[in-house]
């Protein structure tokens, strides 16, 4: 049982750790090249939350199933699952499509020839950064619920 707890905690840290850096990697910039570089870096690092975050969720559910944590209807369990669902909706429905559309438009031939960044691209970049920030904040609440375990 303690090995599953260790697996769960380590995969959560390894999985979500890089995600907390995403809003900082996506700092404000006026350069198309800097935006493309930042979006590319975040896309490469997203492997960690996708892979290790999935393992953390599965190991957490397994721990609940085989452990002695009590009812599944406790605030910390329901709250954690609810927040995780919100994060997934933010990322899958809003963040990823916006980031892909932005990346594709920034790397297009038409965009590279522009002397300055179009307003729409800057607004999309800000939206991507803010969605990453919200996902990070909600993840902090998940960690708090997992540590404090309010009944």
**Per-residue pLDDT reduced to its tens digit, 39-70:** 999 999 999 999 999 999 999 999 999 988 88
In angstroms and rounded to an integer, the radius of gyration of the C-alpha atoms of the chain is 18
pTM of the entire predicted model? 0.89
Q: How confident is the model over 86-113, as a mean pLDDT?
A: 89
Which pLDDT score, from 0 to 100, does residue 109 have?
Answer: 63
């Amino acid at each position: 049982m303690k090995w599953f707890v260790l697996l769960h905690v380590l995969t959560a840290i390894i999985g979500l750790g890089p995600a907390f850096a995403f809003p900082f990697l996506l700092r404000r910039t006026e350069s198309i090249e800097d935006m493309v570089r930042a979006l590319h870096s975040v896309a490469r690092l997203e492997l960690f939350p996708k892979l290790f975050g999935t393992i953390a969720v599965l190991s957490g559910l397994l721990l609940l199933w085989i452990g002695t944590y009590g009812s599944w209807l406790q605030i910390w369990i329901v709250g954690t699952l609810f927040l995780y669902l919100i994060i997934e909706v933010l990322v899958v429905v809003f963040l990823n499509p916006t980031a892909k559309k932005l990346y594709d438009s920034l790397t297009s031939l038409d965009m590279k020839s522009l002397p300055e960044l179009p307003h729409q691209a800057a607004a999309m970049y800000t939206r991507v950064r803010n969605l990453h920030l919200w996902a990070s904040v909600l993840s902090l609440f998940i960690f708090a619920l997992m540590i404090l375990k309010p009944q």
